[in-house]
Amino acid sequence: MSRRYLSAQEAEAALRRGRAVEVFLGGYKYSSVNTIRWVSFSNSSGCVVGNLWEALDQGSKDYADIYSFDSPAGDYNEPVKVVESPDLTAAMKELGITNQQFINSGVVQDEYIDYLESRT
C-alpha cells in the first residue's frame, strides 16, 4: 500500500522542484448548501503561493473531479483567497490552515472520495 500524505519537509521539497501540493479541508454549509474546501500551494518566483478554493459538493464516488464543481460564489471558479509568502508555513498561517495532510496535486479527489465515504 502506498503512502498518500507528504510530510511538511516533503511538501516543501516538492514546491522547490516546481510541483504543487494540496490539502483537502472538508465540507461545510454555504447558505445552507453543502460545499467543500481545499487549498493548493505552488512556487512562483521563490515565493509560495497559497490558493484557498471552495466548490459546491456536487460529486459522488463515481464523479470526484472537484476541480470541475461549480463555485458557490458565482460563475467563475476562482480562489476565495490567495496569498504569497516566503515559505509554506507562512502561507498556511496566512490562510488559517492548520491541517498538514499534504498531498501531491491531483490526489485531492481521493481525499474527497474518502470524505464522501465518511459521511455515509
Predicted confidence at residue 85, as pLDDT, reads 97
44-78: per-residue pLDDT in tens? 998 999 999 999 999 999 999 999 999 998 767 78
As a whole number, mean pLDDT of residues 92-100 equals 95
Model confidence at 120: pLDDT above 80: no
Model confidence at 1: pLDDT above 60: no
Predicted confidence at residue 38, as pLDDT, reads 97
Residue ranges per structural domain of the chain:
8-119
Predicted confidence at residue 7, as pLDDT, reads 95
Predicted confidence at residue 68, as pLDDT, reads 93
pLDDT > 90: what percent of the chain? 85
Instruction: Output the CA angle 65-66-72, nearest 5 degrees.
Output: 140
What is the signed CA dihedral for 49, 54, 58, 63, rounded to 10 degrees? Answer: 10
Element (H, E) at 22: strand 21-30
